Amino acid sequence: MNDRVIAIDGPAGSGKSTVARRVADALGWSYLDTGAMYRAVTVRVLALGLAPDDLESVARVAASCVLDVDDRVIIDGRDVSERLRDDDVNLAVSAVAANPGVRTAMVERQRAFARYQTRGTVVEGRDITTVVFPRAGLKVYLTASDEERARRRGDEDPTSVARRDAADRSRAASPLRQDVDARVVDTTDRTVEDVVEEIVTWAKTLS
């Protein structure tokens, strides 16, 4: 299974979602946006009136929810696709994603998703190469300048992006870090098409 997984990590605004989705399309593989999973849990936590830093209650939501991340994001029967990048979710998602119980529940789901695909899978997030698929066939770490990443994240200002970067790198559970085996791609001055073409070329060497 791991030979048929392309794992893409990187900080907010580095281009993970756009690049990963297009790589999957180019290869005819499945695609999983793990960030959408954490955001969906955050939306559900807020809807239930729970504090994002309530470790036990939030972990129970993550473990028990029915979650479908595809063209639309559905959690417990509710389509939350349009809520994922609202301001309150942006503020709360780091606390939810740092919850060890939440991460355990989501990692299990992410591995199960790839396990049951008949094709390969392109997975992107912030701990994919280091924790979720440490033996992925291809590991890629996308990065970009702070200015460029803030520009791309039109729903968040530079302060918000910097805050989430710091939270992602310093959390105890599955922090964001560059894996030693990952191929680093700086997307600052490159087109999406150029980056996708490079990754697809690497992917074609997988068995």
**Structural domain boundaries of the chain?**
2-203
Cα separation, 187 vs 11, in Å, equals 12
Residue 141 banded pLDDT, cuts 50, 70, 90: very high
pLDDT in tens, 40-66: 999 999 999 999 999 999 999 999 999
Alpha helices by DSSP H, listed for 48-154, are: 55-64, 87-97, 100-115, 146-152
Which one of 44-48, 153-157, 201-205 scores highest in mean pLDDT?
44-48
Q: What sign has the CA pseudo-torsion 90, 94, 99, 101? A: positive
Mean pLDDT of 1-20: 86
Query: What does the alpha-carbon distance between residue 45 and residue 96 come to, in Å, rounded to a whole number?
Result: 9
For residue range 77-125, what is the model confidence (pLDDT) as tens digits? 999 999 999 999 999 998 999 999 999 999 999 999 999 888 899 999 8
Q: How far is CA 159 from CA 49, 115, 164, in A?
A: 26, 38, 9
The string of pLDDT tens digits covering residues 125-140 is: 888 999 999 999 999 9
What's the CATH number for 2-203? 3.40.50.300
